[in-house]
Chains A and B, each alone.
Chain A
Amino acid sequence: QAVVTQEPSLTVSPGGTVTLTCGSSTGGVTSGHYPHWFQQKPGQAPRTLIYDTSKKHSWTPARFSGSLLGGKAALTLSGAQPEDEAEYYCLLSYSGARVFGGGTKLTVL
């Protein structure tokens, strides 16, 4: 099974910008992997932020954006808020299988 890799942890200053990435052991990530990004806060269910690389749900704050960057999927947070401190997971689709990354713990400090 493919392995999906994420940075274990990142720190961003309030109001700052940070990019989280999501790579695949099988090669470059493309739109055909339908990259998703999820946010999970302690004790809560995950929440879907981004689907199909860059599309947002109605509840996704405008400061989050998704893209493909250097062969990886990327989640960029512009203007970080204290409430953005959370674990972020990406997910990639592979011919019937879906694989989550290990998660990135984002600290806003």
Chain B
Amino acid sequence: QVQLVQSGAEVKKPGASVKVSCKASGYTFTSYYMHWVRQAPGQGLEWMGIINPSGGSTTYAQKLQGRVTMTRDTSTSTVYMELSSLRSEDTAVYYCARGWPNWFDTWGQGTLVTVSS
């Protein structure tokens, strides 16, 4: 079955970077895109961007342009989301979700990133 397994929780200091991984299994990795979505504590969902694992092309949310980078490793069926210049407002649970540009289906379990001095 389709599974997305994300990396473990992270604690970072303001100004640092974090890289979250999402390992896919149960399907052809390059046949589906991957979205990234985050959720601050007690808040709603925020779409961060999307990557096409086939060619590596990306589209990022305007708000995060310049700070977010999504990459993939086809040899391990893993996508990565790196967020730089972290601030306290970036404290959130980060999710990957399989899909197509206008379609979502399976979600990862989430990764808590805490930004604190």
* A and B are partners in one complex rather than unrelated chains: yes
Best-buried of A46, A93, A103 by chain B (most CB within 10 Å): A46
CB proximity of B60 to chain A, nearest CB, Å: 10
The answer to whether B110 touches A51, judged by C-beta atoms less than 8 angstroms apart, is: no
Per DSSP, chain B at the interface is strand
Which listed residue, A38, A51, A101, touches B103 by the CB 8 Å rule? A51
A-B contact pairs, 14 of them (CB 8 A): A34-B103, A45-B108, A45-B110, A46-B37, A46-B107, A52-B102, A57-B105, A89-B45, A93-B101, A93-B102, A100-B46, A100-B47, A102-B44, A103-B45
A47 at the interface (CB under 8 A from B): yes
Q: Which residues of A does B touch, CB under 8 Å?
A: 1, 34, 36, 38, 40, 45-48, 51-52, 57, 89, 91, 93, 96-103
The 7 closest A-B pairs by CB, nearest first: A34-B102, A98-B47, A100-B45, A45-B107, A103-B44, A48-B104, A93-B102
The answer to whether B45 touches A51, judged by C-beta atoms less than 8 angstroms apart, is: no
The answer to whether B47 touches A97, judged by C-beta atoms less than 8 angstroms apart, is: yes
Q: Determine the chain B residues whose CB is within 8 A of the CB of A102 once the complex forms.
A: 44
B109 at the interface (CB under 8 A from A): yes
**Given A38-B104, A46-B37, 17 more contacts at CB 8 Å?**
A36-B103, A40-B45, A45-B108, A45-B110, A46-B97, A48-B105, A89-B44, A91-B104, A93-B101, A96-B59, A97-B61, A97-B62, A98-B35, A100-B37, A100-B45, A100-B47, A102-B44
A40–B109 Cα gap in the complex (Å)? 12
Which listed residue, B47, B95, B102, touches A45 by the CB 8 Å rule? B95
A36–B97 Cα gap in the complex (Å)? 13
